[in-house]
A and B are shown apart, each in its own frame.
Chain A
Amino acid sequence: MHSIPSVRTYVLVWLTLTIMTFVTFYVSTINLGEWNIVVALLIAFFKMMLVILIFMNVKAESPLTKLFVGAGFFWMVLLLGQVAIDYISRTWMPEGKMW
């Protein structure tokens, strides 16, 4: 149906994913304070994009399918973003008691 990536591309993506797993494991042993979670999630996001675009071949899908995939992302951003805004901003109130 659509053009499908070459074996070489698949193996390269797999190598990258495996290396990123080692990297995220290694970075977690270094204390970066609050940045540990940020780095870990950035790496996870990068890995996810590789799987979605190449392994799931969304890169070659129709614009409609891409729109639906994007809608999934958008929904997650809404869910996590709005909730995070609530919980983060609670401490900003003058007499703020967090819980």
Chain B
Amino acid sequence: MQPIRRITVADTHGAVAEHNPNLRHHFDTMEQQFDSATLGMWVFLLTEIMFFGGMFCAYMIYRTMYPGAFASTSEHMNPLWGATNTAVLIVSSLTMALAVRAAHLGEQKALQILLLLTIFFGLCFLGVKAIEYREHWVDNKVPLIAGHWDYSNTDKYPNQAQYAKQAQILFCFYFFMTGFHAVHMIVGVALMLTIFTMARRGKFNSTYFTPVEISGLYWHFVDIVWIFLFPLLYLIGHTKESLF
């Protein structure tokens, strides 16, 4: 807990006001400053909704166009990896929420441990994603790469050859959507490292923890994106006949 600097400020009644050193001069109260920061973060998240929203919309269109290809193509994806990553991300969201709570209560030690846990689970997620990408590469499933998606010399996937072209569209979506999501995860991990360093330096206390709060909002948002990516990309053709 940082000591509160007492500055004598003569207000209209001539009383003495306490001034929190973390209160910027253009805000009246800490409460107002906190609300403004949260609102500003949400405005940023709205632009993120538009960013991912466009991709989800394009996905919806192409899935309506080629339901059979999309359903049959997802047999190349391993839903177990996807489910594992969903679980990992949900745990990281829990530790993040608890970290914000610890910051709110001024529990420095708990805050640092929970931030480290969040970073750890974020890295676990990225590790699983890397394993998956490697599998796709080995399995020749990268669109527009010579030699990939070529069924002319193999009958490994007998019912796939007919979809070879359209299937690449799904994999384009897969790589773009999970790729941009992974970029957001990397940014999130970097953000958490920054917040952790700040926490170690004792920048936060129970009256000021805005950076923890708004970084938490970002982390949860990235989690939400994955909550939708998982069923849309991994669970489409889980039952073979189910179509859009």
Contact = CB atoms under 8 A, between A and B. Distances in A.
Contacts of B61: 83, 87
Given A48-B224, A51-B224, A61-B38, A7 B101 contact: yes
B211 interface: no
Nearest to A35: B242
B150 interface: no
Contacts of A18: 87, 90
B87 A21 contact: yes
Contact of B60 (A4, A56, A80): A80
Interface stretch (B44-52, B137-145, B172-180, B189-197): B44-52
Interface string B87-113: 100110110111011001100000000
A33 B242 contact: yes
Interface stretch (B7-15, B16-24, B27-35, B155-163): B27-35
Given A44-B231, A52-B224, A72-B45, A65 B97 contact: no
Interface residues of B, number: 55
B146 interface: no
Interface string A3-16: 01101001101100
B60 A28 contact: no
A99 interface: yes
Nearest to B82: A25
A34 B231 contact: no
Given A51-B220, A56-B220, A99 B65 contact: yes
Contacts of A48: 224, 227-228
Contacts of B133: none
A85 to B, nearest CB: 12
A44 to B, nearest CB: 5
A64 interface: yes
Interface in A42-98: 43-44, 47-48, 51-52, 54-57, 61-62, 64-65, 68-69, 71-72, 75-76, 79-80, 83-84, 87-88, 98
Nearest to A3: B104
Contacts of B97: 5, 10, 54-55
A65 B231 CA distance: 29
A65 B31 CA distance: 14
A83 B57 contact: yes
Interface string B212-244: 000011001101100110111001101111111
A30 B239 contact: yes
Interface of A: 1, 4-5, 7, 10-11, 13-14, 17-18, 21-22, 24-25, 28-34, 36-37, 40-41, 43-44, 47-48, 51-52, 54-57, 61-62, 64-65, 68-69, 71-72, 75-76, 79-80, 83-84, 87-88, 98-99
27 contacts: A1-B34, A4-B101, A4-B104, A7-B101, A14-B90, A24-B231, A29-B239, A30-B239, A33-B241, A40-B232, A40-B235, A43-B231, A44-B230, A48-B227, A51-B93, A52-B224, A55-B94, A55-B220, A65-B35, A72-B49, A75-B50, A75-B53, A76-B49, A83-B61, A84-B60, A88-B64, A98-B65
